[in-house]
């Protein structure tokens, strides 16, 4: 159960980047990491293509990051899966999001498993975070079945080691406008209007819907139309038009209240597609957040507008989102991370775990 040298941490990161693991195709990288951890004396529970390793005893602190990546887009100057070295950095798909966190969390877990900390340290390396979040669901269900409640969780995402202490929830809606179908060449009769025009007015009206109050950590809730579908032929005015609206919610305004305000302001039917992923926030007084600040006193605290698997935890479970790399590089051509960022991430996670152990001892 020896700790990894800096060189071994960087080599692990390079191998991870060189192993393709687009969401839905994580079997190879899961086997790689199961063998890696098993070869260092750790029992690994494999849950589909997600992995869970545990060490120690006491309150459970879960380190969770994802093995999967988005598909490679266009515009790469190097092979996305080549793990190309460019000076002091590695360039490749997932180098930043989130294989830097995977390597750093693994290094911290191996280093601390040699110590007798008064906590259980869990390492969850999960599949499908970029799509369905099924990997973390499987891990949490397994822990619940084993009678191991999560006392704190750290989600490895590229934040430049700043602390995301809150994150917005997701509210997916459909606006359904219903009008009158007719030949496009005929003017409308009185009282007839095409659904597309009706929907267009409601989409314009979205910007005027009151979404106050703003949240002190996360700012305002937001509503953005992202998909529109209508019509069957060029020369037929459709009777129905549908827009998907991506809403990001905060603890300051309940999803049900947002829906009520929309129904009062819009002519379209407002359908709730999904409201199960609520916002999350960790209290300033939590042991986890005190430990994170002690591990990185200069870190900025902020509220994140984007989702992570944190949304799957009960609202009462303290968690933060933090990791090496920068979110601005994610899902882009020539994604990269600096060697120094990976190594500092490993050191930060180890300090955080020690500080959390001291807090709960």
Cα distances (angstroms) measured from residue 66 to each of 212, 255, 259, 273, 338: 34, 28, 33, 26, 19
Task: From 191, 1, 13, 167, select the one nearest 90 (Cα to Cα).
Answer: 13
Task: From 151, 162, 156, 106, select the one nearest 136 (Cα to Cα).
Answer: 156
pTM of the model: 0.92
What is the C-alpha separation between 225 and 332, in angstroms, rounded? 23
What is the C-alpha separation between 211 and 189, in angstroms, rounded? 37
| Region class of 92: left (phi > 0), else alpha (psi between -120 and 50), else beta | left
3-state SS class at 313 = coil
88 in Cβ contact with 52 (< 8 Å):
no
pLDDT for position 190: 81
pLDDT for position 361: 83
pLDDT for position 98: 97
pLDDT (tens digit, 9 = 90+) per residue, 148-166?
A: 999 999 999 999 999 999 9
106 in Cβ contact with 88 (< 8 Å):
no
| Region class of 2: left (phi > 0), else alpha (psi between -120 and 50), else beta | beta
3-state SS class at 143 = helix
> b/e per residue, 291-306, with b = 16+ CB within 10 A?
bbbebbeebebbbbee
> b/e per residue, 124-154, with b = 16+ CB within 10 A?
bbbbbbbeebbbbbbbbeebeeeebebbbbb
Task: From 279, 275, 331, 317, select the one nearest 61 (Cα to Cα).
Answer: 317
Task: From 208, 194, 202, select the one nearest 173 (Cα to Cα).
Answer: 202
pLDDT (tens digit, 9 = 90+) per residue, 240-264?
A: 999 999 999 999 999 999 999 999 9
pLDDT for position 2: 67
Task: State which H helix or E strand residue 322 sits in.
Answer: none
What is the C-alpha separation between 241 and 229, in angstroms, rounded? 6
pLDDT for position 116: 82
pLDDT for position 191: 76
Sign of the four-CA dihedral 264, 227, 96, 136: positive
Burial class (CB in 10 A: 0-12, 13-18, 19+), 360: middle
Digitized pLDDT (tens) for each residue of the chain, 361 residues in all: 568 999 999 999 999 999 999 999 999 999 999 999 999 999 999 999 999 999 999 999 999 999 999 999 999 999 999 999 999 999 999 999 999 999 999 999 999 997 788 999 999 999 999 999 999 999 999 999 999 999 999 999 999 999 999 999 999 999 999 999 999 988 888 878 999 999 999 999 999 999 999 999 999 999 999 999 999 999 999 999 999 999 999 999 999 999 999 999 999 999 999 999 999 999 999 999 999 999 999 999 999 999 999 999 999 999 999 999 999 999 999 999 999 999 999 999 999 999 999 999 8
For each of the domains in the chain, give its residue range(s) and CATH number, in order of start: 6-167+279-360 (3.40.630.10), 175-276 (3.30.70.360)
List residues bridging with 83 in a β-sheet: none
**What is the token pair recorded at 314?**
């009960």
Angle (nearest 5°) at CA 99 between 89 and 298 = 75
């Amino acid at each position: 159960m020896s700790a990894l040298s800096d060189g071994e941490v960087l080599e692990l990161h390079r191998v991870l980047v060189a192993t393709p693991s687009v969401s839905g195709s994580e079997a190879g990288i899961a086997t790689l990491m199961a063998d890696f951890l098993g070869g260092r004396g750790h029992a690994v529970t494999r849950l589909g293509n997600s992995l869970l390793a545990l060490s120690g005893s006491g309150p459970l602190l879960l380190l969770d990051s994802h093995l999967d990546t988005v598909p490679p887009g266009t515009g790469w100057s190097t092979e996305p899966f080549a793990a190309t070295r460019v000076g002091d950095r590695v360039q490749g798909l997932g180098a930043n999001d989130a294989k830097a966190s995977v390597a750093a969390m693994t290094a911290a877990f191996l280093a601390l498993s040699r110590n007798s900390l008064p906590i259980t340290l869990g390492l969850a390396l999960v599949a499908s975070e970029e799509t369905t979040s099924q990997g973390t669901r499987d891990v949490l269900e397994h822990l619940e079945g084993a009678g191991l409640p999560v006392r704190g969780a750290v989600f490895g995402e590229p934040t430049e080691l700043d602390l995301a202490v809150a994150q917005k929830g997701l509210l997916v809606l459909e606006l359904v406008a219903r009008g009158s179908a007719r030949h496009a060449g005929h003017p409308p009769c009185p009282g007839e209007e095409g659904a597309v025009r009706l929907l267009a007015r409601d989409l314009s009206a979205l910007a005027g819907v009151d979404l106050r109050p703003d949240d002190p950590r996360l700012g305002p809730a937001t509503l953005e139309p992202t998909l529109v579908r209508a019509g069957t032929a060029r020369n037929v005015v459709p009777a129905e038009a549908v827009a998907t609206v991506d809403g990001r919610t905060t603890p300051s305004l309940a999803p049900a209240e947002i829906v009520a305000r929309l129904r009062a302001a819009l002519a379209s039917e407002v359908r709730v597609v999904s409201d199960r992923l609520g916002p999350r926030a960790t209290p300033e007084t939590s042991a986890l957040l005190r430990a994170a600040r002690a591990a990185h006193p200069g870190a900025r605290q902020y509220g994140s507008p984007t989702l992570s698997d944190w949304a799957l935890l009960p609202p009462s479970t303290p968690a933060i989102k933090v990791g090496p790399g920068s979110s601005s590089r994610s899902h882009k051509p020539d994604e990269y991370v600096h060697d120094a960022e990976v190594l500092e991430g490993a050191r930060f996670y180890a300090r955080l775990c020690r500080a959390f152990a001291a807090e709960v001892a």
